[in-house]
Structure 1
Amino acid sequence: MSKRATFQHIRRPSVSRVRGVVVAAGLGTSMVLGAGAAFAAGPASAPDAANLVNMTAESVAQQAVAQSKAAAVKKEAALEKAAAVKKEAAKAAQSASAWMAPVHQYELSASFGNDGSRWAHKHSGQDFAVPIGTKVEAVHSGVVVKAGPNGGGDGPAYGNAIVIKHGDGMYSQYAHLSKIDVHIGQAVEKGQKIALSGNTGNSSGPHLHFEIRNTANYGSAVNPVTFLYKEGVKV
């Protein structure tokens, strides 16, 4: 073989070898660039994940506070509703009772059984402190058996007075009246106006003296507050 032919053979690389080198170089470049890209992306994504966790925890805490407040409001509303229902039930029970208080908007003063120089014996009724001219109503349906001055026959200490006989055998008495609006033998209904309060007779000031009796006459009174309470009326 000639020298020229040998030289030409040495300087000609194979096509496959050249292609291999190019591919290897390209792969190395890709690996380097990929690693760099991953290295660059790693630190940037880490704070985003932490922020997401913090935001999630804060959102959960806010929801818990909101739910707690809502539960407290709901509980308060339920308590208020229960109190209102209880009040209405008590009011309905009193309205359903066959008895009632003789006056409205009052203050209790001298009570049943009190001692004092104002009475010959212990106080025989319950006093309701009200202004002169306050409407007095029958506490239960019945028939008027006493009405007039001198306590309607019970004595001058009562002033103008009324006694009503009720169907269950009990009697109610109203004293120190300024005006009487019923007469003996008249039937009255619960809540009917029968008189106006006053300061007549042996009275230390404007009020209604009220009694519940076993008979029409003085000396047979029972505690009117206790009696009314048993009938579903609280005074």
Structure 2
Amino acid sequence: MSKRTMIHQLRPSVLRTRGAVVAAGMGAVMVVGAGAGVASADAGKAAQPAVVDAAAAVAAQADAQATAAKAKAAKKTAKKTAKKTAKKAPAWVKPVTKYTLTASFAQGGAMWSAKHSGQDFAVPIGTQVKAAGAGVVVKAGPNGGGDGPAYGNAIVIKHNNGKYSQYAHLSKINVNVGAKVKTGQNIAKSGNTGNSSGPHLHFEIRTTPNYGSALNPMAFLRSAGVNL
């Protein structure tokens, strides 16, 4: 066989071998590429839950902070409201709510051995009697609480400003000596005990706890901002 014939026969064989090698190489590349793509996709899928969890945690923290801020604001508002209410609360009030004014302070007449020492509020028996101001009970009981039988059942309260208030002719006493009372607190029920011409509350403002130191109670209450 001549050299030329041998060369012609070898060339197709070599080409086929090279083609097979190239094809195999491309297949390997394609396989590796596909594997890399799958691995990359799997990695992306694995990363997604972490991102979602982080976002949820941030949202939960934001909600918690917002809730805490709202609670703090509500507490602050409640505190301000309580402060305003405390400021508006009156220091002095009327001893009874519904009444008819009868015998007034310093009024003269056969009913009294001297001029009238207080202000009378005509009310039905059993009407709630309130502390005109905050203080401490220093007298409470029959015989005017120690001021004499003309007052019947009576109470005397010492107030923070050094003045005293007296409530007389009561049908029932709801406080004891030494008790601390608040402005407007129910302390007794009105009656007709002692030297009384009919159901009413006898009310005094005094400079001492005892009879004989009375001031004009209406003038005092009006000066304290009480409308009568």
The TM-score, its normalising length taken from structure 2, stands at 0.61
Residue in structure 2 matched with residue 205 of structure 1 by the alignment: 198
The answer to whether the aligner puts 1:109 opposite 2:83 as a matched pair is no
Query: Partners in 2 of 1:211 and 1:105 — Cα distance?
Result: 18
Deviation, structure 1 residue 96: 4.2
Question: For 1:227, what is the secondary structure of its paired residue?
Answer: helix
Q: Indicate if the aligned counterparts of 1:109 and 1:126 stay in contact, CA closer than 8 A.
A: yes
Out of 96-105 and 136-145, give the one that drifted further: 96-105
Alignment of 1:12-51 (within 5 A): none
Query: Partners in 2 of 1:105 and 1:232 — Cα distance?
Result: 18
| Deviation per residue, 1:35-70 (Å, 9 max, x gap) | xxxxxxxxxxxxxxxxxxxxxxxxxxxxxxxxxxxx
Question: For 1:122, what is the secondary structure of its paired residue?
Answer: coil
Residue in structure 2 matched with residue 126 of structure 1 by the alignment: 119
Structure 1 stretches of 4+ with a deviation exceeding 6 A read none
| Deviation per residue, 1:158-214 (Å, 9 max, x gap) | 000000000110000000000000000000000110000000000000000000000
Query: Partners in 2 of 1:137 and 1:105 — Cα distance?
Result: 12
Query: Partners in 1 of 2:127 and 2:218 — Cα distance?
Result: 20
Which amino acid counterpart does residue 223 of structure 1 have in structure 2?
Answer: N
| Deviation per residue, 1:72-117 (Å, 9 max, x gap) | xxxxxxxxxxxxxxxxxxxx9xx64310000011110000000011
Which amino acid counterpart does residue 164 of structure 2 have in structure 1?
Answer: Y
Q: How high is the sequence identity, in percent, across the aligned residues?
A: 70
Query: Partners in 1 of 2:184 and 2:89 — Cα distance?
Result: 13
Residue in structure 2 matched with residue 147 of structure 1 by the alignment: 140
Residue in structure 2 matched with residue 43 of structure 1 by the alignment: none
The answer to whether the aligner puts 1:191 opposite 2:184 as a matched pair is yes
Question: For 1:110, what is the secondary structure of its paired residue?
Answer: coil
Query: Partners in 1 of 2:110 and 2:194 — Cα distance?
Result: 15
Residue in structure 1 matched with residue 224 of structure 2 by the alignment: 231
Residue in structure 1 matched with residue 64 of structure 2 by the alignment: none
Query: Partners in 2 of 1:214 and 1:178 — Cα distance?
Result: 25
Structure 2 residue runs of 5 or longer lacking an equivalent are 1-84
Report how many residues are paired.
Answer: 142
Which amino acid counterpart does residue 214 of structure 1 have in structure 2?
Answer: T
Question: For 1:136, what is the secondary structure of its paired residue?
Answer: strand
Query: Partners in 1 of 2:102 and 2:217 — Cα distance?
Result: 13
Equivalent of 2:171 in 171, 178, 187: 178
Pairwise CA RMSD of aligned residues?
Answer: 1.1
Deviation, structure 1 residue 234: 1.8
Q: Indicate if the aligned counterparts of 1:175 and 1:208 stay in contact, CA closer than 8 A.
A: yes
Deviation, structure 1 residue 229: 0.4
Query: Partners in 2 of 1:96 and 1:107 — Cα distance?
Result: 25
